[in-house]
Chain A
Amino acid sequence: MSERKIRVLVAKPGLDGHDRGAKVVARALRDAGMEVIYTGLRQTPEMVAEAALQEDVDVIGLSILSGAHMALVPRVLELLKANGQEHVRVFLGGIIPDEDVSRLMEIGVVGIYGPGTLTEDIIRDVRQAVLGEPAS
C-alpha cells in the first residue's frame, strides 16, 4: 500500500564531538523521505549495533572525525554479523585517509564520504543500496 520507508541510524561512535556533519546528513536524508534515528555523540560500537537491532534499520551512517575509524568500523561490522544483521548497509562519513578507504570497503562498508560530498550523492547511494534503484 505505502511505499517502502527506508530507516537509517545515524551515529557518532568514538570520542570526537563534531556532530555538525552527522546532523546535516540526517537532515538531508529526512528531506529525502527517510526515517532517521539519530543517536548522538560518543556511541560505542556496542551501542550502535544494539540500536540498529532494536530499530531494525536498513542502513547505518557512521560519522567519525577522530581518526579511530580503523578500530571502530570493523568492530561495528563484526557486531552486526554476530547479531544476524549482516544485511544492514554501513556508510561512513568523516576524515578518512585514502589508504584506509579501500581496506574499509573491502570489509564491507558500502560508501565513504569526505568533506565536500553532495548530500544528493549520499541519498542516491543509500536508495540504491536499499532499494536496488539504478544509479542515474
Chain B
Amino acid sequence: MSLTDSVLSGERLALARLLSQIENDKPSGQEALGELFAHTGRAHYIGVTGAPGTGKSSLVNRLAHFYRQPPPGESPFKVAIVAVDPSSPFTGGAILGDRVRMRDLSGDPGVFIRSMAARGSLGGLAPTTASMAQVFDAAGFEIILIETVGAGQAEVDIARLAHTTIVVEAPGLGDEIQAIKAGILEIADVLVVNKADRPGVENTERALRTMLELAHPAPRVFRHHGTFQSIPQGEPTADEDLWVPPILRTVATEGDGVPELAAAIARHRDHLEKSGEWQDRDRARLVAELDMLLQGKLVERWRQGVSDLQYQQIIDSLVARQISPHQAVNELLDGGQES
C-alpha cells in the first residue's frame, strides 16, 4: 500500500510520516500531496491567532474538546490541530510548547495534534503549514484548527489560509490593543476576549468594539447595534452579505464561553457558504499559495544560472556602497538572463 493510500485509510503513523516529508520539502511529500489534492477542500480551516500569552493553545484545546463532544444530537467532528511556534533566528532551533495545554486531548483517536516550527517564515505560519492542513483535509479531518505563533502586528498570513480567523485578546493588554489595531483586528472573523474573569475585561471589550465600529462601513454599524429599522425595507441590501465580527468572552481554562464561540464559528461558516465567500476565499487561498510557490521556484531556478563568483562580487560592491540594493538586483537579473 502506498503512503497516500495509507493516509487516506486513516493510518496515523503514515500520516505523521507524510507530514514530516512535506515539512522537509521532500519530493516524495510533494508527490503525495499531488495525489491527495483532489481529496481536499472539504474541511473547515479555523485559524487562531493573537498576542503571546492570550491563551490561544488553551482555547484551541477547549474548542477541540467541544467538537469531539458536542451537545446531544450533534455528531462529533474529527479534529486536527496544527500549532506553530517560532524558530530561533540564530540557531534555527525551537521549543514547541503548545501541547502542554492540550494534554487532555490525549488518547482520542479522533484528534491529531502536530507542532511546527515557523522555520524562518515571518507571517505567523510556517512555509508548509498550508500543505500540512491540506494533508489533514484529505485524510478526512473535518475541523482543522491552526494556531499561529504569538502574533503582534503583521502576522496576518493566517487570514489567507483559514476560512474563519479567530483573534484572541486578553484584558490588561490595553497598550497592545492600540498597537495591533491596524493589523490584526482587520483579519478577525470572530474576536475573543479570553481570560474574561480578569479585571479590565469591559475596557478591552469596549476598545475592540470601538475599533470595529470605526473599521466598518455604516450599514454594519447599524446591524451591529441591532437597529435594522434604519435600513429602508424592501431595498436589496448588500448588507445581507456583510459579516460583523462578533466579540465573545471566554475563560479557556474553565471552558466558559466555548460553546458560544463554536456557535459563532458555525454561523460564520454558514455565512461564508451562503454568501459565496467560501469559494472566494478558497480561490484566493490557492492563488496566494501558487504565487508563493512560484516565487520560490523562480528564485531557485534563476539562482542556478548565476555563478557564486558573480553573486559574491555584487554583494561586495553592495557592501562597499558602490551600488544600491536596487542596482544590485538589476545587475544580478541581467547577469542571470545572459548566462
Q: Is the CB of B106 within 8 A of A83?
A: no
Name B96's contact: one of A38, A46, A83 (CB within 8 Å): A38
User: Which residues on B sit within 8 Å (CB–CB) of A36?
Assistant: 93-96
Name A33's contact: one of B93, B96, B99, B107 (CB within 8 Å): B93
Name B107's contact: one of A7, A40, A50, A84 (CB within 8 Å): A50
Q: Is the CB of B13 within 8 A of A85?
A: yes
Q: Is the CB of A55 within 8 A of B16?
A: yes
Contacts A30-B93, A30-B94, A33-B91 known; A40 to B113 CB distance under 8 Å?
A: no
Contacts A50-B107, A56-B19, A56-B20 known; A31 to B97 CB distance under 8 Å?
A: no
Among A37, A40, A50: residue with most chain B CB under 10 A: A37
Q: How far is the CA of A46 from the CA of B107 in the complex (A)?
A: 8
Closest 4 CB pairs of A and B: A30-B93, A40-B100, A56-B16, A47-B106
User: Which residues on A sit within 8 Å (CB–CB) of B93?
Assistant: 29-36
User: Which residues on A sit within 8 Å (CB–CB) of B95?
Assistant: 26-27, 30, 36, 38
Q: How far is the CA of A2 from the CA of B91 in the complex (A)?
A: 13
Among A7, A32, A44: residue with most chain B CB under 10 A: A7
A interface size (C-beta, 8 A): 33
User: Which residues on A sit within 8 Å (CB–CB) of B88?
Assistant: 30-31, 33
Q: Which residues of A approach B to under 8 Å, CB–CB?
A: 1-2, 4-5, 7, 26-27, 29-40, 42-44, 46-47, 50-51, 53-56, 83-85
Q: Is the CB of B91 within 8 A of A32?
A: yes
**Min CB gap B325→A, angstroms:** 25
Name A40's contact: one of B13, B19, B99, B119 (CB within 8 Å): B99
Q: Is B24 an interface residue (CB 8 A)?
A: yes
Q: Which residue of B lies closest to A34 (CB)?
A: B93
Q: Is B271 an interface residue (CB 8 A)?
A: no
Q: How far is the CA of A53 from the CA of B100 in the complex (A)?
A: 16
Among A30, A32, A46: residue with most chain B CB under 10 A: A30
**Min CB gap B221→A, angstroms:** 44
Mark each residue of chain B from 89 to 128: 1 if its CB lies under 8 Å from any CB of chain A, else 0: 0011111110110010011000011110101000000000
Q: How far is the CA of A38 from the CA of B106 in the complex (A)?
A: 14
User: Which residues on A sit within 8 Å (CB–CB) of B87?
Assistant: 35
14 examples of A-B residue contacts, CB within 8 angstroms: A5-B24, A27-B95, A29-B93, A33-B88, A36-B94, A37-B99, A37-B115, A38-B96, A38-B100, A40-B99, A46-B107, A53-B12, A53-B16, A84-B13
Among B17, B20, B92, B115: residue with most chain A CB under 10 A: B115
Q: How far is the CA of A53 from the CA of B95 in the complex (A)?
A: 18
**Min CB gap A29→B, angstroms:** 7
Q: How far is the CA of A81 from the CA of B332 in the complex (A)?
A: 53
**Min CB gap A57→B, angstroms:** 9
User: Which residues on A sit within 8 Å (CB–CB) of B113?
Assistant: 51, 54
Name B25's contact: one of A1, A53, A55 (CB within 8 Å): A1
Q: Is the CB of A38 within 8 A of B103?
A: no
User: Which residues on A sit within 8 Å (CB–CB) of B16?
Assistant: 53-56
Q: How far is the CA of A30 from the CA of B93 in the complex (A)?
A: 4
Q: Is the CB of A55 within 8 A of B103?
A: no
Q: How far is the CA of A56 from the CA of B103 in the complex (A)?
A: 17
Name A35's contact: one of B94, B99, B100 (CB within 8 Å): B94
Q: Which residue of B lies closest to A30 (CB)?
A: B93
Q: Is the CB of A55 within 8 A of B100?
A: no
Q: How far is the CA of A33 from the CA of B93 in the complex (A)?
A: 4
User: Which residues on A sit within 8 Å (CB–CB) of B12?
Assistant: 53-54
**Min CB gap A55→B, angstroms:** 6
Among A1, A39, A42: residue with most chain B CB under 10 A: A39
Q: How far is the CA of A98 from the CA of B298 in the complex (A)?
A: 58
Q: How far is the CA of A32 from the CA of B112 in the complex (A)?
A: 28
User: Which residues on B sit within 8 Å (CB–CB) of A53?
Assistant: 12-13, 16
Q: Which residue of A lies closest to B90 (CB)?
A: A31
Contacts A26-B95, A33-B93 known; A43 to B19 CB distance under 8 Å?
A: no
Q: Is the CB of A83 within 8 A of B94?
A: no
Contacts A33-B91, A35-B94 known; A55 to B115 CB distance under 8 Å?
A: yes
User: Which residues on A sit within 8 Å (CB–CB) of B94?
Assistant: 30, 35-36
Q: Is the CB of B92 within 8 A of A33?
A: yes
Task: Please report which residues of chain B, range 1-53, place their CB below 8 angstroms from some CB of chain A when the two chains form the complex.
Answer: 12-13, 16-17, 19-20, 24-25
